[in-house]
Chains A and B, each alone.
Chain A
């Protein structure tokens, strides 16, 4: 499991490879942002993400591997004046 702080709330997510027994200690299971969004049913939604204070461009969702304790902000556009 990995713990992330998403929009100020601590949340735990299973790592994708955890179901299978690890082949070696070096091969840690990893969760990237694309996989996280799939978990949260947010894939393909109009959102923007900040990770530990830095914007994560949409094109980088696959390569950004999350670390335990990462702070994410996931935002949408809402009505406002």
Chain B
């Protein structure tokens, strides 16, 4: 069995999806269902004061009993904000300790601040959190995050929300080679082929939000991503043929052709 294990729990889907940027909760739910994802990210935000008491809650649409919810620290630029956000998340989700840590460095690019990320991860791990960590594609930073106890390393493929795809497959390959915990590409995937490439590189999973939510038809794209992640994983396991400029060995038999010439135009 090709098991995908996160924090001791086995999952059948290697696609993790976010729940932001959808038109409404119905679309969010339909896209999540079409993606087949079992781990889904949520953000933690201040409640609207004086909100409509009947307003639907995301957790009613995506109940924690059916999905593994992965609260994130999106929008946090300091260690303190990130740590406090996840403490609140743990309380909100009844002691659930699996979290996605990201400490951003810059509101324009949303590039991670790896130095602050390391500090926040250390605090959270000491407090018993199981930290899946968003980071740059720097192999040294990835290794350090693993060494301090992060349970999954989630490097970007390109910037959050950019849809630019896998910009540095070589760095990802080094990170994957060095890691003894799951490596999940988080951010940058734009379309199905990007997800397949990430999986073919040997990533253990792919996390995405905008690629699905910002598609013209998010539900159909969610289904495409499900297949791409599965196809990429199978291709990785199957082991691809070597690349060569040309082959002297055609797929069809070389003898028994009715042609009299040997490939030469007469």
Tell yes or no: B237 within 8 A of A by CB.
no
Binding site for A on B (CB under 8 A): 18-22, 28, 41-47, 49-50, 53, 57-60, 69, 71-72, 74, 84-85, 87-93, 160, 207-210
Q: Is the interface of B mostly helix, strand, loop or mixed?
A: mixed
Report the separation of the CA atoms of residues A73 and B210 in the bound assembly, to the nearest whole angstrom.
Answer: 28
B-chain residues with CB within 8 Å of residue A73 when the two chains form the complex: 46, 84, 88
Residue pair B92, A48 in contact (C-beta under 8 Å) = yes
A79 at the B interface (CB under 8 A): yes
Interface residues of A toward B: which range? 20 to 34
- Determine the chain B residues whose CB is within 8 A of the CB of A8 once the complex forms: 46
Which A36-55 residues have a C-beta within 8 angstroms of B?
40-42, 45-50, 53, 55
Partner of B19, one of A11, A42, A50, A81: A81
- Closest chain A residue, CB of each to CB of B54: A41
Taking Cβ atoms with an 8 Å cutoff, the residues of A that contact B are: 6-9, 11, 40-42, 45-50, 53, 55-58, 73-81
Q: Report which of A7, A42, A57, A81 forms a contact with B91, defined as CB distance below 8 A.
A: A57
In contact, A6 and B49 (Cβ under 8 angstroms): yes
B210 pairs with A81, CB closer than 8 A: yes
Contacts A46-B59, A48-B92: A80 and B49 contacting too (C-beta < 8 A)? no
